[in-house]
Structure 1
Amino acid sequence: MTEPAERVRITSSRRPMVRAGQQDLRDEINTQTELGEVYVDGLIRAQLRLALRVILVGVLSLGGLPLLFHLVPSTRNATIFGLPFAWLVLGLLVYPTAIIIGRQYVRASERLEAEFSALVNDP
Structure 2
Amino acid sequence: MTEPKPPPRVRVTSPQMAGRRRAHPAPGRGAAAEIDEQTGVGELYLTGLLRSQLRAGLALLALVLLGLGGLPVLFLLLPQVADHPIGPVTVAWLLLGAAVYPVLLLAAWWHVRTAERVERDFVAFLRRR
Give the TM-score normalised by the residue count of structure 1.
0.73
**In the alignment, residue 67 of structure 1 is paired with which amino acid?**
V
Aligned mates of 2:82, 2:99 — CA distance in 1? 17
Q: Percent identity?
A: 38
2:114 counterpart SS class: helix
1:122 is displaced (CA, Å) by 4.4
Counterpart mapping for 1:1-123 below 5 A: 21-22=26-27, 23-91=29-97, 93-122=99-128
Aligned mates of 2:79, 2:118 — CA distance in 1? 44
**In the alignment, residue 21 of structure 1 is paired with which amino acid?**
A
1:81 is displaced (CA, Å) by 2.0
Q: Tell me the alpha carbon deviations over residues 59-108 of structure 1, each in whole angstroms, 9 at most, x when there is no partner.
A: 10011011012122223432112222112213553221211111011011
- Runs of 5+ consecutive residues of structure 2 not aligned to the other structure: 1-24
Aligned mates of 1:76, 1:39 — CA distance in 2? 49
Give aligned pairs, total: 104
RMSD: 2.0
1:28 is displaced (CA, Å) by 0.5
Task: Pick the structure with greater CA Rg.
Answer: 2
- Runs of 5+ consecutive residues of structure 1 not aligned to the other structure: 1-19
1:42 is displaced (CA, Å) by 0.8
Give the TM-score normalised by the residue count of structure 2.
0.70
